[in-house]
Amino acid sequence: MNERQPLRRWAIGLALCLSVGAVVNAGADTATPLDEALEVRLAASDQRLPIERFYQYRNYQPIWTTAASVEALVTGLEALEQDGMDPENYAAASLMEAFALSQAGGVPAQVAFELQASQALLQALDHLNRGQVNPRQLSAQWDAERPTRGYSMAAVAEAVDQLDIAAALDHARPDSTAYRRLRAALVDFQSRSLQSGVPYLDRREESLRPGDQHDDVLTLRRRLTHLGEPHLLSANPQAYPLIGLDAPDQRQFDTQLAAAVKRFQRRHLLQDDGVVGEQTRRALNVPLSSRVEQLRVNLERARWMGTQPDDAPRVWVDLAGYRLHYTRPNGEHWQTRVVVGSPQRATPVIQSAITHLTLNPSWTIPPTIMREDVLPRVREDVGYLAEENIQVVDFDGNPVDAEEVDWQRPGSVMLRQVAGSANPLGSVVVRFPNNHMIYLHDTPAKGLFQQQQRALSSGCVRVEGVTQFAQLLLQDTGSSAQVASLVASSKTDRQLSLPRRVPIALHYLTAWPNAEGEVEFRQDIYGHDAAVESALSQPVRLSG
């Protein structure tokens, strides 16, 4: 039994007695001393949370005046655990006791408790709606606005009038299919993480393959069953000797087990070959408690994204999932594979809008790449520049003789690679304003799209099928321009504006539902999860 339960039962009992007396004493008066004191306190308050607006919708009438109302609030706050939020951040366990004490303390204590309880609710609503943590305080790699408060206070106040705290919270909860699926996965993993005695796979010199017969295969069956794969374990025939049960050999790596392994691999962005090698073994051995934390982290990230209607026209790049998604104005969903920044040159989180395309682009080499990648090769052999069709120019774009530059201290020069088959930007660049010089682009290295793990670029995002993507953007914004024809014209650095901007977001999500609705667990390629998890574990100070 929870050690708080006896104290909570005592508090509820005392609160019931006191609150019944308070209701009787109030009689038919329209304005009680509590009402008046509450309105005075609100008028003098300087609060961050919209507490006065909440009470405006209630005509400044208190709500947390009975044990039933406080118990409803506590129950609603406790359910936030299903969103990956800690109910104790909103004083859920102590509210009943505080209510009982306030009832015995007169009007000032009752007003103080009234505001405390409302602040707890409003703080929970705010965190549920747009996240507990401000992501810009965690990373310089965050170039996106935190969502503004986006729920109806009138609807919240109406739900609270009915003591339906679950409905009040639901008004603030992000309204998206992805969020609901993440939340359902969290509840499932929280439940299964309580199971004990499930074995882990031992490290093997050789991979475990279909057709193998070994004790490790039985461990694999148990592990996958623990992770949500049904029907992999059959009954033990020795447990039912009288019915002649003939069960298959659980030590045999059969086709059914291979199919389950492949499903697991796809959900973890691993090569789905049905072979349990080192990477698959490590993913299988991740404790469910760690997956619970991963889901909590990504539910928080989903709250940072705000409510995104599933059918709203937009582009979003799933960085850790290596996919670009485009919801077209007609509702059609188009997606493709991408290559994103390496762990050393992480692609940032960005919210912006696509403004124009560059066709047959030249490439002005960014300072970091110039310093770390190009200059060492130029210092060995200045002929490298001519071999790669790289021009040396000053900051005004005027040509500079490469032989006259001191490459140990190159000073005020830039390197620009001309358009062509060797140019790393390929034939099309998709541009959107941001503070990191990031864009989407073509690439001559098409083979990289075939790899499962694609954190390989210098920060920008390479898009498979970018010419088709660019054509869709033009078509959907009212342009008749034909990308293929314009590229074939061979004009360098042609800028082509979209008639209308198209919203774009680059997000970093290490757990997210796929097209089939199953939650995928991705590698934390940039190591961002720990910072979010740590921030979520910090206590929240309730404030007005």
Closest Cα partner for 319 from 463, 436, 147?
Answer: 463
Structural contact between residues 134 and 147, judged by C-beta atoms closer than 8 angstroms: no
Active site residue 436: no
Give Cβ neighbours of residue 391 (< 8 Å, ≥ 6 apart).
Answer: 385, 399, 415, 416, 417, 418
Structural contact between residues 496 and 431, judged by C-beta atoms closer than 8 angstroms: no
Structural contact between residues 350 and 438, judged by C-beta atoms closer than 8 angstroms: yes
**Distances in whole angstroms, Cα of residue 361 to Cα of each of 449, 456, 480:** 21, 21, 21
Q: Mapping DSSP to helix (H, G, I), strand (E, B) and coil, where does residue 252 land?
A: strand
∠ Cα 391 396 398 (to 5°): 45
Helix, strand, coil percent content, the chain, rounded in steps of 5: 45, 15, 40
CB atoms within 10 A of CB 537: 10
Q: Mapping DSSP to helix (H, G, I), strand (E, B) and coil, where does residue 129 land?
A: helix
Pairing of strands 363-364, 494-507: unpaired
Please give the backbone phi and psi of residue 351, each rounded to the nearest 5 degrees, phi first.
-125, 130
Lookup: tokens for 190? 């929280």
Active site residue 460: yes
At 169, which helix (H) or strand (E)?
A: helix 165-172
At 185, which helix (H) or strand (E)?
A: helix 177-192
Query: How long a stretch of residues is the chain?
Result: 544
Q: Mapping DSSP to helix (H, G, I), strand (E, B) and coil, where does residue 139 land?
A: coil
Q: What is the DSSP letter of 29?
A: -
Structural contact between residues 323 and 404, judged by C-beta atoms closer than 8 angstroms: no
Indicate which residue of 127, 460, 507, 528 is catalytic: 460
CA 219: distance to chain centroid? Answer: 32
Cα–Cα distance, 113 to 18 (Å, whole number): 14
Structural contact between residues 45 and 134, judged by C-beta atoms closer than 8 angstroms: no
**Distances in whole angstroms, Cα of residue 314 to Cα of each of 288, 349, 470, 495, 509:** 34, 16, 13, 22, 18
Indicate which residue of 127, 268, 441, 528 is catalytic: 441
Cα–Cα distance, 482 to 497 (Å, whole number): 13
- Positions marked active-site: 441, 460
